[in-house]
Structure 1
Amino acid sequence: MNHLMRELAPIPAEGWRQIDDEARERLATHLAARKMVDVEGPHGWTYSATSLGRTQRIEAPQTGTQRETAVRRRRVLPLVEVRVPFTVDRAELENAERGADDLELDDLDQAAAQVGLIENRAVFHGWPAAEIGGIVDASPYDHLSLGTDPERYPHLVANAVNTLRCNGIGGPYALAINPDGYTAIVESTEHGGLLVLDHLRRALGGGRVKRTPGIAGAVVLSLAGGDFVVELGQDLSVGYSHHDAETLTLYLEESFSFRVTEPDAAIVLD
């Protein structure tokens, strides 16, 4: 038995299969940041910190000798644990045993959305309490103004891509944009009749436009790799908490860190 305690849950094998399948499907939709940064791991639940490859000089303990001693403490970035609970009706799990393959798992969907918001915001806007710095704060460039007219977006994105290229940042590139901005893009055409989305993909050098819950505004960033890293201890998994006669309380859980290794690889559009 591991820390997820799944063996203690009164859930049949078919019920677990459907819960896990639904969790994977929903998380794939909400974990937008992972599609645009490097993901290392998972290294397991006991993995606690990301090595930063740097040290900090500290004073040596007093030993009563005069010999000079250099002492350095290695710097690490602790992983943060995230757990979001959700409930499942026991009646639905009994239906799984009868052969139902359309379980009502609305609360799981909401939990997956919450996990996505937390992780996406940590990547783009940082998380000071978790010692995570985000892409937006790390970017050294002046912010561009996104505005509300999606027909202007291809021009703005092309300028951002050009700035990245001039600074030696290769492509392809991605546009991470908030859900309202993404909706405006997919519903818009330019005067020539072409979809704004198609123009954006060309401006991004064949990259992607990604709907990103949790981001404020938008960010143009390189997809070349090596610039932004999410490191996973435990990847998102479903665990068991407790149950009563009618309801089971489960949870989604992960541990991760995030670091920016190349601040020049992203430009913010407010």
Structure 2
Amino acid sequence: MDHLMRELAPIPAEGWRQIDDEARERLVTHLAARKVVDVEGPRGWTHSATSLGRTRRIDAPENARERETAVRQRRVLPLVEVRVPFTVDRSELEDAERGADDLELDDLDQAAAQVGLIENRAVFHGWPEAGIGGIIDASPYEHGTLGTDPERYPHLVANAVNTLRCNGIDGPYALAINPEGHTAIVESTEHGGLLVLDHLRRALGGGRVKRTPGITGAVVLSLAGGDFVLELGQDLSIGYSHHDAEKLSLYLEESFSFRVTEPDSALVLD
């Protein structure tokens, strides 16, 4: 038995199958940052820190100072653990055993959205308490202004891509944008009938436009690889907490770190 304690849950195999399938389907939608950064791992629950490849000097023990001993300590970025609880009605699981394949898992859907929000914000806006710096704060360029007119977005994005190229950052590129901005893009057409979304993809060099819950504004960033790294210890998994006569208390859990290795590879549009 591992730390998720799934074996202790009074959940039949069919119930677990439907819960896992629903979680997987919802998480694909919400984990937007994973589509535009490098993902390493998962390295397992016991993986505790990301090596930064650097050291810091520290004092040698007093009994070793006569020999001018040099001492350095490896620098690491500890992984952060995220656990979001949700509940499932036992009656729904009983129906799964009867053959129902449309379980009501609304609380799971909300938990998946919360996990996605946390991860996306950590990647783009950072998480100081966890030692994580985000893409937006790391970007060295003057911020552009996104505005509210989606028909201007291709021009703004093309300018951002040009800035990245002039600084030696290869494409293709991606536009990570808040849900409201993405909706405006999808619903709009430019003069002449060309979809804004199609025009944006051309400006991005065949890259992608990604709806990103949790981001403020938008970011144009390179998809060339190696610039932004999300390292997973445990990938998102469902664990068991406890239950009563009516409900089971479960949770979504993951551990991760994030680091920006090339700040020049992203430009922010406020």
Settle same-fold status: TM greater than 0.5. yes
- Quick check: 1:4 aligned with 2:7? no
Amino acid across the alignment from 1:6:
R
After superposition, the C-alpha distances for 1:4-32 in whole angstroms (9 at most, x for unaligned) are 00000000000000000000000000000
Which aligned pairs between 1:255-266 and structure 2 lie closer than 5 A? 255-266=255-266
Amino acid across the alignment from 1:72:
R
Any unmatched runs of 5+ in structure 1? none
| Cα distance in 2 for residues equivalent to 1:219 and 1:65 | 50
| Cα distance in 2 for residues equivalent to 1:65 and 1:2 | 46
Match of residue 205 from structure 2: 205
Which consecutive segments of 4 or more residues in structure 1 shift more than 4 A?
none
- Quick check: 1:225 aligned with 2:204? no
Amino acid across the alignment from 2:11:
I
| Cα distance in 2 for residues equivalent to 1:66 and 1:47 | 37
Post-superposition shift, 1:193?
1.0
Aligned CA RMSD, in angstroms, stands at 0.6
Match of residue 114 from structure 1: 114
Match of residue 172 from structure 2: 172
| Cα distance in 1 for residues equivalent to 2:108 and 2:251 | 8
Moved more, 65-74 or 215-224: 65-74
Match of residue 70 from structure 2: 70
Which aligned pairs between 1:20-169 and structure 2 lie closer than 5 A? 20-63=20-63, 66-169=66-169
| Cα distance in 1 for residues equivalent to 2:28 and 2:64 | 59
| Cα distance in 1 for residues equivalent to 2:235 and 2:80 | 12
After superposition, the C-alpha distances for 1:61-103 in whole angstroms (9 at most, x for unaligned) are 1016521111000000000000000000000000000011110
Q: Identity of counterpart residues, as a percentage?
A: 89
Q: How many residues align?
A: 270
After superposition, the C-alpha distances for 1:209-244 in whole angstroms (9 at most, x for unaligned) are 000000000000000100000000000000000000
Which aligned pairs between 1:244-259 and structure 2 lie closer than 5 A? 244-259=244-259
Match of residue 182 from structure 2: 182
Post-superposition shift, 1:248?
0.3
TM-score, normalised to structure 2's length? 0.99
**Would the alpha carbon gap of residues 141 and 64 (structure 1) be closer, same or farther in structure 2, given more than 3 Å must change?**
closer
